[in-house]
Structure 1
């Protein structure tokens, strides 16, 4: 983009406030509580539990007194004991049904394969070394004191934890393979009575066996029971019905960690069931599950979870956005008031870090921060890491700055939209497929949330408070693929209708200030775009591409208004700005990022939401915004502006369209449509004929995204439509005109 335009943009940004009558309403109120009061993606307990999985088993030999001691030193809330039963009827703390993996049974009893616990007496098991194996397997964690550790009985384990934990550490016990050990439940209850912990409020019993849990329920009706689940156990089941059923006997569920998604959390919490996933060891995974509202986590690393729970931390990943050749905006969210620090460097090891910047996260912005970073070098990959200054937990990311102004460098972008609508909620596969392509940037083309649809974050829609809107953004950020993509490349985000409510017109919709506020809180948006809430701006990739991001919502007249010369979607200033950008751009490609389509009729009859009025549906429909788009189309044709591509999503199918607006047999511009990423899937229909469209490709009923590449050396631009798994459904190379 030419330098002369930058000053013009600065002037424009000072004059748009009067065109946005609701902007003055957007000032946040004081004393905001960030919990929206209805989300099922929050704990139902007052304290999230740190459950030491077999003790601090990342640091010492599992199910030994040494591992239990370490877990208590690391502030674990619960100690987990897996229970097996010896040949002579004693309960011991051991995970496996055999002794081979975690003891020296094979060496001490070489002729007794397969060394099953049920074939050994307690006296025989007490002779085994249960610690040396750990030193051999994990030499970096080895300690002399682990040599000679013994397999504890359940009674010994209980007494040790109660004594060393001063009665503050809870007991969490699993009946392993109860079908192998008849009478296990009776033995367990007897020991709990004998050790005087049966009535302990911090006692929890768990099992994969429903039969075992129901048996325990009859013997100890007041003890909390947790139904464990593997993926296979839930395969083909309706989790809402399943959890309603087990709530008869269980106080909670213990799922394999990959099962925990918003739908799972909603089903459990609606039935007042605790959610304790297993086994969660990396701090990224621990934080991700906390963002889903779990009530506790089984972990081999209790210190890492305790650190997250005791100090503010980065809760929903990080992101970069609105990148230029010398600047970027960094985004992160903490789970409470905190100072968030970013380190930025072109060195991935950060040995030579160049920039350190800190910003305060407060309740007014739901503990999110947007931090500008300036003074960067063009065409350079930068790495960043974010953390709250009180926490060791760090989130890493990267982005690439644009090439310098007059350079011609190849470019790859991915684009898509429509996430979280009509019952389609995280997890999404599409973002992983996008990330795998290593794009230069991601254009999020609108409907980044569905504020007006029911989801676990807002079970009673529509979103009305800013807390509701914030909850929607947090819900989509629970998707691991989205977090991965946002941390891997820069993002340019634009809003469409569902960031507020379906088919809204900014100045006439009372929720617009609230929706806009949340949108700006949750995306890395530059001051140039957020200034006066204008949101439109041009970003350049050297001389390869100028991307003109439109604000199709903030200035529009009501959809129901009859179309005519005075009806507007963009507002007079934005329309003139767009025409000037197109005219002055000397980039090979002019990419117009619009949140609504040109020739696909959207909205409803007599209230068209896109530019088209739907002539082919109802020739008498007086709505739409065709008069305004005609000004854009005529301008492109009359000024002979080449290589213009309009890019959008919104309509929930993929389509590539070429336009011969003046009917002279030559293509004047193209429209590229992808989507949805995660919303209802629709099949293409008939195009409105006003601007001379010709469909080159159309396909619906699948999740998809778009890829747009520019190869200036070969004077080509290529579009691809890929499905959620990354498979190419359509590809076309456009020869760029000189």
Structure 2
């Protein structure tokens, strides 16, 4: 371990629920964020887009086909991009039934992240009442305002990913910052993006809001790069850190370089416990996972070892 203090790992490493606890509830919904809280997460990660009437919408894909019934509700639309729908239309969509249908499939036929869901996890974290609600047609695509209100009530930090590539929403960054300022949550959010120019925009407008460089590519001198654009954290995927290489061995150099500058390293998407242990040993400060229960179990296991 990086040190032998008696401070529990959970006090030093953030358990971050990817799109909410999306292994156990429909991703990027209020239900997924509430489920993350029940599992004991510190932070939720979510994605934002702009609707046709400039409402900030929480959704991962830039179109609505995978996670809603948009084609049933609006069968004749020429486009299913979020930016082509008004909030009043988006609010009519069912964002939960697709997930209930996935869970009814054999594990090998589910979406990739759900293929490793164990029967024990299913039984523990997805109740019959949960399944009925997911299939009820009453779960909506939330706004960022609704989500931030929930997170404030639950005491959760929020990682807001600006989904600016490839669609480049005019005004999204400023709209998010305006809402964060209005709600007084400047120190409760972290803004990340693959479009690092947006992180520069955040820093120009707000010295209080933290930013994170999101990447799935290897960066040369990542610590120096973060300093140059004024970012507070590095959010690499597991691939550029070597965990999908031939040796499946972590290249800890990037983690070490960033941590030496007293900046955070939060890695996505970590669903494998052995990978989590390697990352923790390398000194990461957060694990972004579809299965935050597994993160909690690893933190408890390793925390007990150094107490």
Q: Which category describes the TM-score, using the shorter chain as reference length?
A: 0.7 to 0.9
- How many Å separate the matches in 2 of 1:289 and 1:34? 11
Output aligned runs, 1:63-462, within 5 Å: 63-139=28-104, 143-147=131-135, 148=137, 149-163=139-153, 165=154, 168-177=155-164, 180-198=168-186, 200=187, 202-231=188-217, 234=218, 237-238=219-220, 240=221, 242-248=222-228, 249-260=230-241, 261-312=251-302, 335-336=305-306
Higher strand share: 1
**SS of equivalent to 1:57:** coil
**SS of equivalent to 1:182:** coil
- How many Å separate the matches in 2 of 1:221 and 1:71? 28
Q: Is the 8 A contact 1:106 1:113 kept in 2?
A: no
The aligned counterpart of 2:115 is none
1:395-443 deviations in Å (ceiling 9; x for gaps): xxxxxxxxxxxxxxxxxxxxxxxxxxxxxxxxxxxxxxxxxxxxxxxxx
Moved over 6 A (4+): none
- Alignment CA distance shift 1:34-1:218 (3 Å): closer
Q: Is the 8 A contact 1:45 1:295 kept in 2?
A: no
- How many Å separate the matches in 1 of 2:199 and 2:98? 33
**SS of equivalent to 1:67:** helix
Deviation at 1:268, TM superposition (A): 1.4
Q: CA RMSD in A?
A: 2.4
Deviation at 1:36, TM superposition (A): 7.9
Deviation at 1:45, TM superposition (A): 10
Q: Is the 8 A contact 2:2 2:283 kept in 1?
A: no
- How many Å separate the matches in 2 of 1:35 and 1:288? 15
**SS of equivalent to 1:259:** coil
- How many Å separate the matches in 2 of 1:83 and 1:336? 39
Q: Is the 8 A contact 1:247 1:273 kept in 2?
A: no
Structure showing greater Rg: 1
Deviation at 1:46, TM superposition (A): 5.6
2:23 aligned with 1:35: no
- How many Å separate the matches in 2 of 1:74 and 1:113? 40
Between the two proteins, the alignment pairs up a number of residues equal to 269
Deviation at 1:308, TM superposition (A): 2.0
TM-score of the superposed pair, with normalisation by structure 1: 0.35
1:517-575 deviations in Å (ceiling 9; x for gaps): xxxxxxxxxxxxxxxxxxxxxxxxxxxxxxxxxxxxxxxxxxxxxxxxxxxxxxxxxxx
**SS of equivalent to 2:288:** strand
Higher helix share: 2
TM-score of the superposed pair, with normalisation by structure 2: 0.81
Q: Is the 8 A contact 2:256 2:283 kept in 1?
A: no
**SS of equivalent to 2:212:** strand
Higher relative contact order at CA 8 Å, sep ≥6: structure 1 or structure 2?
2
Deviation at 1:273, TM superposition (A): 2.2
